[in-house]
């Protein structure tokens, strides 16, 4: 047997974790969430119900896809400028088109299941507690990301999201504003976590300018 | 096939710890450059080069030299053959560990 024991699963997790080493993906994620919140806020102001429904049904998903596309490009560009010259390049394998389509359907299915689950609970509890319930699901997703990729700070992000949701529920604001504030708050939590990580990454690393 | 025989059949190119580490990284990520592999493995430049050459000779990885601005960059990628060899090695080792 080998003299040095190599935990393959741990090495794989460390490799995946490298994507989050600089905090850039979290900042991009936070920007997307805030864009969703702002678009929801704008739609909420519209009085014509038909226009509102159309924008919620088509405009918002289109905006999410568009923001995600540009955020992805921005992340790649930032990583090329900041991360790769300092600690090296990693490019992850892109799935085949069939698998990507399957994944999109899976995400839609999970989103529908979560939505049905939330609606089921929503009918059982007071509207006041919906923000904390929503934050619980978003916090659980952050926790899962942290576990899967071995990024411990995501657990803190998850906890912060649930606490923030709890505060929103406690404040008991009326109308659609609790959800807008909740999304803006979650976006800011991700941006702060990413910004903190980026600052410490820049402090600890230097770009390599010569051939190695 | 008994366990002893199965152990001797394990791919020696991948079984070496440093090369197993490199193969695992390249299996998880599609591509990695020399700088990343140097940081991730903790090997010296010479040692890493030697192990990469061994993997390249076995046609398990491809090594490509490109330029990032004026700085040369060495990009390593696992070949389909390397991917299959890693998967076979992993299955063999899992079977061996389970049987012990």
> What ipTM was predicted for this assembly?
0.86
How far is the C-alpha of B65 from the C-alpha of A78, rounded, in Å?
Answer: 22
If you average pLDDT over every residue of chain A, what do you get? Answer: 85
Say how far apart CA A131 and CA A179 lie, in whole Å. Answer: 6
Question: Which chain B residues are within 8 Å of A212, Cβ to Cβ?
Answer: 34-35, 38, 45
Per-residue confidence (pLDDT) for residue B3, from 0 to 100: 56
Sorting pLDDT into bands at 50, 70 and 90, what band is A100? low
pLDDT above 70: percentage of residues in chain A: 86
The pTM for the full model equals: 0.80
The C-alpha of B58 sits at a distance from chain A's nearest C-alpha, in angstroms, of: 20
Query: What is the tens place of the pLDDT at every residue in A135-147?
Result: 998 899 999 999 9
What pLDDT, in 10s, does the model give residues A104-134? 677 667 666 766 766 676 677 777 888 888 8
Q: Count of domains in chain B?
A: 1
In a domain, B100, yes or no: no
Structure confidence at residue A129 (pLDDT): 82
A64-94 residue pLDDT tens: 888 888 988 999 999 999 999 999 999 987 7
In chain A, residues with a C-beta closer than 8 Å to the C-beta of B38 are 88, 212
From the list A141, A79, A6, the residue with the least C-alpha distance to B25 is: A6
Mention every residue, 6+ apart, whose C-beta is less than 8 A from residue A93: B29, B30
Q: Which residues of B touch A (CB under 8 A)?
A: 15-17, 20-21, 24-25, 27-40, 45, 68, 71-73, 75, 90
Residue A208, pLDDT > 90, answer: no
Q: Where are the domains of chain A?
A: 10-206
In a domain, B90, yes or no: yes
pLDDT for residue B94? 85
SS3 A173: coil
Q: Which domain holds residue B77?
A: 3-95
Alpha-carbon gap, residue A68 to A45, rounded angstroms: 24
Q: Residue B74: which residues within 8 A CB-CB, separation 6 or more?
A: B33, B34, B63, B64, B65
pLDDT value, residue B25: 95
List pLDDT tens digits, range A11-26: 999 999 999 999 999 9
A2 — pLDDT class (breaks 50, 70, 90): very low
Q: Which residues of A touch B (CB under 8 A)?
A: 2-4, 6, 8, 11-12, 14-16, 18, 84-85, 87-94, 208-212
In a domain, B37, yes or no: yes
Examine residue B21 and state whether it is found in any structural domain, yes or no. yes
Indicate if the alpha-carbon torsion angle B31, B34, B36, B40 is positive or negative: positive
Q: What is the pLDDT of residues B23-82, one digit of tens each?
A: 999 999 989 999 999 999 999 999 999 999 999 999 999 999 988 777 788 999 999 999
Distance linking the first and last C-alpha atoms of chain A: 33
Is the pLDDT at A197 greater than 70? The verdict is: yes
Using CB atoms, which residue from A16, A87, A208 is nearest to B28?
A16
The yes-or-no verdict on residue B1 having pLDDT over 60 is: no
pLDDT of residue A1: 41
Q: Which of B20, B27, B39 sits opposite A6 (nearest CB)?
A: B20
With an 8 Å Cβ cutoff, are A210 and B21 in contact? no
Rounded to an integer, what distance in angstroms lies between the CA atom of residue A35 and that of residue A44?
14
CATH number at residue B11: 1.10.10.10
Residue B35 tokens, joined: 């700088």
Ordered strands of the A90-91 beta sheet: A90-91, B31-33, B71-78, B61-68
């Amino acid at each position: 047997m080998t003299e040095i024991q190599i935990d393959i699963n741990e090495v794989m997790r460390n490799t995946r974790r490298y994507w989050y080493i600089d905090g850039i993906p979290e900042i991009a994620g936070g920007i997307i969430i805030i864009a969703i919140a702002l678009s929801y806020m704008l739609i909420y102001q519209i009085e014509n119900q038909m226009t509102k429904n159309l924008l919620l049904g088509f405009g918002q998903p289109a905006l999410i896809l568009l923001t995600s596309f540009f955020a992805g490009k921005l992340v790649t560009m930032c990583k090329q400028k900041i991360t790769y010259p300092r600690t090296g390049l990693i490019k992850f394998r892109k799935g085949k088109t069939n698998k990507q389509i399957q994944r999109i359907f899976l995400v839609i299915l999970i989103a529908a299941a979560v939505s049905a689950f939330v609606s089921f609970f929503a009918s059982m509890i007071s509207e006041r507690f919906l923000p904390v319930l929503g934050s619980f699901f978003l916090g659980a997703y952050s926790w899962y990301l942290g576990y899967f990729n071995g990024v411990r700070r995501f657990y803190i992000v998850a906890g912060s999201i649930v606490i923030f949701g709890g505060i929103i529920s406690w404040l008991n604001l009326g109308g659609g504003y609790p959800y807008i504030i909740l999304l803006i708050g979650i976006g800011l939590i991700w941006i702060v976590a990413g910004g903190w990580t980026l600052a410490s990454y820049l402090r600890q690393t230097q770009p390599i300018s010569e051939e190695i | 096939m008994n366990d002893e025989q199965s152990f001797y059949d394990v791919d020696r190119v991948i079984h070496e710890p440093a090369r197993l580490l490199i193969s695992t990284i390249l299996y998880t990520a599609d591509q990695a450059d020399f700088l990343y592999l140097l940081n991730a493995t903790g090997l010296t430049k010479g040692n890493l080069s030697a192990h990469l050459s061994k993997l390249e000779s076995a046609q398990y990885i491809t090594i490509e030299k490109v330029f990032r601005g004026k700085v040369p960059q060495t990009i390593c990628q696992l070949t389909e053959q390397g991917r299959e060899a890693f998967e076979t090695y992993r299955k063999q080792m899992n079977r061996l560990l389970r049987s012990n």
